[in-house]
A and B are shown apart, each in its own frame.
Chain A
Amino acid sequence: VGSRSEFSAQTLAVLAVLCEQPSQWRHGYALARQTGLKSGTLYPILIRLADRGLMEACWQEEPVPGRPRRHLYRLTPDGQAAAAEALASAARPAARAARPGRDVVKPVVSWEG
């Protein structure tokens, strides 16, 4: 599913963060901070991922007193597989470019943390 051409660099960045601990629910502001994306860019990406069944979303069951309930996100099993494949294929050209004798090019996305 997740060939490199399917996802933009920003989407790959979101997938990379969500892949770090796939079972953990995350909220939008944390994703925005970790990816550096603005809300107007981040949320359309989240909506598309949810529409494609790659990510699930739910409202926080036990809200923190004094603040609104949060909308939480994590990858579905399909999403984890697609993200792993897309991130691997995104990293491959970068690895090739980093071989001796070539200029070093940073990977589009790093998901090591």
Chain B
Amino acid sequence: VGRLGRAAARLVPAGRRDWVEAIWAEADDVPSGLSRLAWLAGGVRVVAREARVARRIGRWLLFAAAVTGAVLATWPGSLSGFATAVARIDVVTVVLVLAVLPWLARWFLGPASDTRLARFLRAGGAVAALALIVAKATASRVVYAPATGVWQGMGRPAREFAWFTQILFLVVMAVYVAAILAVTARRSRVAPATLAIGTGAGIMLGTVMYAVAPLGLSKNATEPWVAGSAIDPVVALAWILLLAGPAVAGGAAGRRYRGPGSPQQLIHARIWQSVVAGLLATGTGALIVAVLGTGTVALMPRAAWLRDWLYPGQHLLAAAAYHHELAASSSIGGYGLILIAFPVIGLVLGFSGSAAAMESPGPPPEAGPA
């Protein structure tokens, strides 16, 4: 039992192992028999408590449930169909990415930050990736259904391009997951304030972008839920958040950073905080609008209330509703463009925002990043 216990001590974070080893060391003095067994059982309780076994098990169960749900939603269908084949490749790849990348991140970047926001970002990223592939599979089935004749009408170059875009989507998803793991790794030295500012700006951008483009980027497909020029202020706000948000977030994150080191190190650290904040602002925004938008498109055929909200005052006949669904499903590629373009914009603007951070006074010596 003692040997097992010593092995179990490895489950505990390095800073806590002394305590567990202390319990096993004391066991030698406890009278053998039930007393010693009770002492060792107490040690096992401490291991379970310090290793946060319950939380780990709960996390894995939630992940398994989410994966099962995603597989059940995407797997059915004939493998000969393009949409089904893509859906199955998507779900297998994304599940592998979500399972393997955290191990690689731990290997290369050390342990993950344990703040609530970092945990929220990692869990949110995983949920978003799974939700996105489920919604995308549903929309693809509408577009590539045999009745539409879309796939049959495509020539070889068009089909190759369709496969290329699917592979590109998976690469983009992997990059998003990797980026979230990287910015929430302790060794990345991203300050909690930077995470908060970037994520907050991203949630605002994503929500407003969704209000502007709830059904992809095509005007024909969208027919905005706020009709005519009434949507213009929301569109203007979306542009402001996209073009000014990352710079402001970057500037604020850089200015707020208080870390140790020489003035030169401080400059580099502030630029890093600004770039990460800009990237988070647009990356989070892109992920939110892509998930909400694609999810809305996927739900349209099933939810009459959603059609009523999107097309207020219009009593859609079945044919018109199907037309809207098909048009919207064909437009979700626009979200793919957003997923690629937004982070690039965020990187550039976040970096430019770091200029504002340089004017901020030097740091007090005691503070630092997470």
> Does A pair with B?
yes
The yes or no answer to A100 lying at the interface (CB within 8 A) is: no
- Residues in A neighbouring B21, C-beta threshold 8 A: 71
**A38 to B29 Cα, complex, angstroms:** 14
Contacts A43-B23, A44-B49, A68-B28 given; does A38 touch B18 at CB 8 Å? no
Residues of B within 8 A of A (CB): 16, 18-19, 21-26, 28-30, 38-46, 49-50
**A59 to B22 Cα, complex, angstroms:** 9
What is the 8 Å Cβ interface bit string for chain A, positions 93-106, against chain B (1 contact, 0 not)?
00000000000000
**A54 to B24 Cα, complex, angstroms:** 24
B43, A69: Cβ atoms closer than 8 Å = no
B26, A28: Cβ atoms closer than 8 Å = yes
B16, A47: Cβ atoms closer than 8 Å = yes
Contacts A38-B38, A43-B19, A59-B18 given; does A27 touch B26 at CB 8 Å? yes
A29, B29: Cβ atoms closer than 8 Å = yes
**A40 to B43 Cα, complex, angstroms:** 6
19 CB-based A-B contacts, threshold 8 Å: A27-B26, A28-B23, A29-B29, A39-B26, A39-B39, A39-B43, A39-B46, A40-B42, A40-B44, A42-B42, A43-B19, A43-B22, A43-B43, A47-B16, A47-B50, A67-B25, A70-B22, A71-B18, A71-B25
**A68 to B19 Cα, complex, angstroms:** 14
Nearest first, the 7 A-B pairs at minimum CB distance are A40-B42, A39-B42, A71-B22, A40-B45, A68-B25, A29-B26, A28-B26
Identify the closest chain A residue to B20 (Cβ). A43
- Residues in B neighbouring A21, C-beta threshold 8 A: none
**A43 to B25 Cα, complex, angstroms:** 13
Interface set, chain A 38-96, CB cutoff 8 A to B: 38-44, 46-47, 57, 59, 67-71
- Residues in B neighbouring A46, C-beta threshold 8 A: 19
Contacts A40-B45, A40-B46, A44-B49 given; does A57 touch B18 at CB 8 Å? yes
- Residues in A neighbouring B28, C-beta threshold 8 A: 67-68
Which of the four size classes fits the interface of chain A?
Answer: 20 to 34
The distance from the CB of A94 to the nearest CB of chain B, in whole angstroms, is: 29
A69, B41: Cβ atoms closer than 8 Å = no
- Residues in B neighbouring A59, C-beta threshold 8 A: 18
Identify the closest chain A residue to B40 (Cβ). A39
Contacts A29-B26, A40-B46, A67-B29 given; does A47 touch B39 at CB 8 Å? no
Interface of B is mostly: helix
Residues of A within 8 A of B (CB): 27-29, 32, 38-44, 46-47, 57, 59, 67-71
A28, B16: Cβ atoms closer than 8 Å = no
- Residues in B neighbouring A32, C-beta threshold 8 A: 26, 39
**A67 to B26 Cα, complex, angstroms:** 9
Q: Which residue of B16, B30, B45 is within 8 Å of A29 (Cβ)? A: B30
- Residues in B neighbouring A69, C-beta threshold 8 A: 25
The distance from the CB of A70 to the nearest CB of chain B, in whole angstroms, is: 6
The distance from the CB of B366 to the nearest CB of chain A, in whole angstroms, is: 16
Q: Which of A27, A39, A43, A44 has the most CB of B within 10 A?
A: A39
**A81 to B181 Cα, complex, angstroms:** 43
- Residues in B neighbouring A41, C-beta threshold 8 A: 42
**A29 to B40 Cα, complex, angstroms:** 12
B42, A28: Cβ atoms closer than 8 Å = no
**A28 to B42 Cα, complex, angstroms:** 12
**A29 to B44 Cα, complex, angstroms:** 16
**A41 to B28 Cα, complex, angstroms:** 19
Apart from the given pairs A47-B46, A71-B26, 6 other A-B contacts in the complex at a CB distance below 8 Å? A32-B26, A40-B43, A46-B19, A57-B18, A70-B25, A71-B21
Identify the closest chain A residue to B39 (Cβ). A39
A38, B42: Cβ atoms closer than 8 Å = yes
- Residues in A neighbouring B49, C-beta threshold 8 A: 44
The distance from the CB of B26 to the nearest CB of chain A, in whole angstroms, is: 4
- Residues in A neighbouring B44, C-beta threshold 8 A: 40
The distance from the CB of A39 to the nearest CB of chain B, in whole angstroms, is: 3
- Residues in B neighbouring A42, C-beta threshold 8 A: 42
- Residues in A neighbouring B25, C-beta threshold 8 A: 67-71
Identify the closest chain B residue to A73 (Cβ). B22
Identify the closest chain A residue to B48 (Cβ). A40
The distance from the CB of B18 to the nearest CB of chain A, in whole angstroms, is: 6
A43, B29: Cβ atoms closer than 8 Å = no
The distance from the CB of B16 to the nearest CB of chain A, in whole angstroms, is: 7
- Residues in A neighbouring B30, C-beta threshold 8 A: 29
The distance from the CB of A52 to the nearest CB of chain B, in whole angstroms, is: 15
